[in-house]
Chains A and B, each alone.
Chain A
Amino acid sequence: MTAVGLRAPRPRIRPASVVTFLVMAVVTAFVLLPVAIIIFTAFKPVAEVNAYPPTLLPTEWTLDNLIRILEELPFARLALNSVIFAGGVTLCALVFDSLAAYALARIDFRGRGVLLVLIIASLMIPFQATLIPVYQLVAELGWINTYQGLIAPRAADAFGIFLLRQFFLALPRDLDNAARIDGASEFRVFRSVVLPNVVPALMTLGVFTFVNNWNDLLWPLVFTNQAEMGTITSGLTLLTGPGGIIPYGVMMAGSLLAVVPLVIGFLFVQRRFIDNIATTGLK
């Protein structure tokens, strides 16, 4: 667009790359089709949602579906629950995982190897496999339908500890040794020296944890049974009524509201986020 852009060295455009580009454009369009259908259907009047032949774009834009979803579900409450649940898990996990990862990566202590193996082993346990005893435990604590019941069991996780440990290992030793020689306590070294150097890793883990929990369906279904304690994701499933009659327009409006905050947040951090998940713990 700008003069600077024009002066940039122009890659040679070969016919082969034009073909690949076109193929990629078509593939991407198909991949984005469900996202497009969510957005466009959310703004369609009922008559158009149910019209045959179906269309992609609305001819008439309306906010009716969005208004109806707000009437049918306690949406503000569900959104708040989603934020508290996903945000709470993320915050706790970041603190607890980074503390544990620091000890495992930077402190040389007895039993470190055994602990590390145990933590890595617990990575392989699907949460579904322990769901029932976890449910019983949460129920015994009287935490069903509470935020702590949703958050506590996920307040630390092996994946996060492992991921952060990989980052902590990569930092040069001199950094914290210098601080220790100056008399800094271990916690001080952790907080003021090491932590500021792993902000990208914390961000990546944070986004990952937040998105996974925001989107999780089975977890809130199990730990809440009151509609007003559900999350957006679990609340939306209430819309598929027992008769199997599905108000698509309303459902897409709800889906849109569930997805938009994530997409906006993601677009802000996407470059770093994608690079980080691609490189952390995998090299």
Chain B
Amino acid sequence: MTAPAARAYRPPAPLGGRPRVRGEGRRTLTALAFLAPALLILGAFVAWPMISAFRLSFTDASGFGAEDWVGLDNYIRVFTDPDILDAMVNTLWYTVLFTPTAVVSALLLALVLNSPALPFRGFFRTALFLPFIVSLAVAAFAWSYLLDPRLGLVNYWLQGAGVQLGDVLEDPVLAMPAVALVAVWKNFGFYMVIFLAGLQDIPASLYEAARMDGAGAGRRFTNVTLPLLSNTFAFVLIFALIAALQAFDQIYVMTGGGPYGHTQTIVMEIYESGFRKLDLGFASALSYVLLIATLLLSVVQFVFFGRREKDLG
């Protein structure tokens, strides 16, 4: 692949023979005019707030006028406050529950859906993608009802199978798996579609060759599918990890962070300290910790995608 940037549009020199530099200046102005609205929005609502959040994170801002510089106090609090440390552990635990489950289930279903022998593939694909367009909040209502200790269908069926779940959302151990499950339910369809696209990019001839060499289905999967899917896999993994770090909606609706803070995550803490307790300085410090965690993951992504990004130019 050649870098598309190299083929970028360069208008032919005007017949009048104007100096090229002026043409370039005009092109820059035109380009900036095209970019202006987007840059204005991104500047005002992304770039500036980032700088502003950084400054706030060193103050005791409460949103009511006076704010004092407190140095690293907020950051020290982030890493010493037992509630926040619990929230970090919870976020990690949530990530560990959500990410592998979502990614593996998406991959398995994509592999099955990729087989031409399966009837009604289109129907399955649409049906399994459907949860992605249902909001997490609405999904959380439906799952709360399904898991209700007395009225829930899932609970009732499991009882029939001899499994006593009790009140899952009030259970300190089971509440987090339950909210993670809802996120898996909502997101795996999206990841599945991305995997499907990756699978369809693998040339059929490679499978033919492997088959001729006597490779069974298992070997074809480990020696052809997995290596060629590694880029897609890394992409989905990073997507899922970032989604996990930002968990909010379903937790807000299903447990509100309970029982006893067992499902309290970083974003829940940002929302509560920022918009309930109006402790803006502290919430900003917390935001920056989240931002840095996300950036670290993105760096990992760039290591994985380094070559591809260059290709995209």
Q: Find chain A residues with CB under 8 A from B131 CB.
A: 31, 34-35
Q: Which of B12, B41, B201, B246 lies in contact with A126, CB distance below 8 A?
A: B246
| Contact, CB under 8 Å: A110 / B28 | yes
Chain B, residues 231-255, CB within 8 Å of chain A (1/0): the string is 0100100000010011011001100
Task: Give Cα distance in the complex from A236 to B112, angstroms.
Answer: 37
Interface residues of B (CB under 8 A from A): 4-5, 7-12, 24, 27-28, 30-32, 34-35, 37-42, 44-50, 52-53, 56, 63, 109, 112-113, 115-120, 122, 124-131, 133-139, 141-146, 148, 150-154, 156, 185, 189-190, 193-194, 196-198, 201, 232, 235, 242, 245-246, 248-249, 252-253, 267, 270-271, 274-275, 280, 283-284, 287-288, 290-291, 294-295, 298, 312-313
Q: Find chain A residues with CB under 8 A from B34 CB.
A: 99-100, 102-103, 107, 186, 190
B55 to chain A, nearest CB (A): 9
Q: Find chain A residues with CB under 8 A from B45 CB.
A: 130, 134, 137, 152-154
Task: Give Cα distance in the complex from A31 to B245, angstroms.
Answer: 24
Q: Which of A53, A99, A156, A266 lies in contact with B42, CB distance below 8 A?
A: A156
A171 to chain B, nearest CB (A): 11
B126 to chain A, nearest CB (A): 5
The DSSP consensus for interface residues of chain B is helix
B123 to chain A: closest residue by CB: A28
The DSSP consensus for interface residues of chain A is helix
Q: Find chain A residues with CB under 8 A from B274 CB.
A: 131-132, 135
B180 to chain A, nearest CB (A): 15
Whether a CB of chain B sits under 8 angstroms from the CB of A33 is yes
| Contact, CB under 8 Å: B49 / A134 | yes
Whether a CB of chain B sits under 8 angstroms from the CB of A76 is no
| Contact, CB under 8 Å: B185 / A155 | no
Whether a CB of chain B sits under 8 angstroms from the CB of A251 is yes
Task: Give Cα distance in the complex from A41 to B112, angstroms.
Answer: 32
Q: Find chain B residues with CB under 8 A from A263 CB.
A: 130, 133
Q: Find chain A residues with CB under 8 A from B32 CB.
A: 103, 109
